[in-house]
Amino acid sequence: MALSWNIRIRRRSWFRFILPIIVLGLLCYGTWAYCHKLCYEQVDKRLRQKSVSVGLICAVCFLDVVVIFIWLQIVILVGPGTQPHVAPFLILPIASEEKTSNTSQNTSVEYDAVVPPKCYQSDPHGYPIWCSECQSLKMERTHHSSELGHCIPRFDHYCMWIGTVIGRDNYRLFVQFAAYFSTLLLIMWVSICVYIRIITQHNHNYSPNLNANIISTLVFAILGWLLTASLLASSIFYMSQNKTSLEAIIDSKRKKFGTRKIFCYYSEANKLRFVVEFDRSEFHSFWDKKSILANIKDFMGSNILMWIIPLGKPYTSRCKSDGKSGSKTTLVEILGPYEETLSDYTIQAIEDKISRGEYLATLRASGDDSDPAY
């Protein structure tokens, strides 16, 4: 039984590389057919347009190198990122201030206390979401990847064409990959369509019949362009709403089947945490900054120049703590750049629900009275 399970895992791990290898093979084949069969044999030798031929070959080869370089960064050099280990929050029962203080003092020595943020996603009892595989809390917008075996911050989707998960670290590279790849394929199929008519009408010592490799490249280029252009368009659309692809799918299912979204919020006025629920009629983009540019910057970075420069850097190296130090640590110190911030509109909606008494439970957490830096 264990042997068959291991075989299935190995087959699955190898299977995810099949499509990327096929895509890479088609890219190499299309580049050869385009550069040699179209640009060299037809445009250069037959039509005597050497400068155009050289320009097209240089443009396509340059974009090939850029696409492959981005691909390597997405899969190997940068990756989707890994959420640092976050120890469980210490949830305390509602009691007198003296009893709560004593409880905090007695447990702080034995417990790797992490000071909870002001607001976090929770279950109906106020407990944060737990990942049993990573033995860590799953913070906002984080999901566990069965393919990679760890939790991915701002999990977007698993791209079977690239062969890896798209997350916080490599999302900008993925958008650039789709943009540069669609540009490459656009140049290929548009130029082929332009020269098809010229070549077929040009009966000058050559047969007007087109090479089959050129036709195949045209078909692959059009299909690939439709795919990459749609990926690019959908990514831009979701970024403008500050949503990931997975969040868009989950939200649509929640609206359809009536599932809930719950947050645990610390009210400074009441010195308590309130568990607040949003039902299907109240769903919105909880991370939407109400500005398209601000939302896109949240995904692509504040430096607009880096939106077009295909160089990525993992955020993991900037996280200074893993939450296992044994001392009280704020979540900001643990997560670093992986920290997610709810929109002002969402915070206001939560506070309005609390003021109307629309909450599921109240609780305390260790560190709430120590004025943490939220």
Burial of 365 (0-12, 13-18, 19+ CB in 10 A): buried
Alpha carbon distances (Å) from 302 to 197, 285, 297, 298: 46, 21, 5, 7
Question: b vs e for 328-361, b when ≥16 Cβ sit within 10 Å of the residue's Cβ?
Answer: bbbbebbbbebbbebbeebbebbeebbeeeebbe
SS3 of 134-169: CCEECCCCCEEECCCCEEECCCCEEECCCCEEECCC
d(CA 11, CA 252): 32
Alpha carbon distances (Å) from 278 to 127, 270, 284, 343, 357: 16, 21, 9, 15, 14
Q: 58 an active-site residue?
A: no
Terminal C-alpha separation, the chain: 49
Q: Phi and psi dihedrals of 198, rounded to 5? A: -65, -45
Give 204's contacts (C-beta < 8 A, 6+ positions apart).
Answer: 46
Q: 349, 87 in Cβ contact below 8 A? A: no
| Catalytic-role residue among 159, 193, 264, 319 | 159
Give 82's contacts (C-beta < 8 A, 6+ positions apart).
Answer: 150, 151, 152, 153, 316
Residues in the chain: 374
d(CA 56, CA 39): 7
Identify the helix (H) or strand (E) that includes residue 70. Answer: helix 50-72
Question: b vs e for 109-125, b when ≥16 Cβ sit within 10 Å of the residue's Cβ?
Answer: eebbbbbbbbbbbbeee
Catalytic residue numbers, as ranges:
159
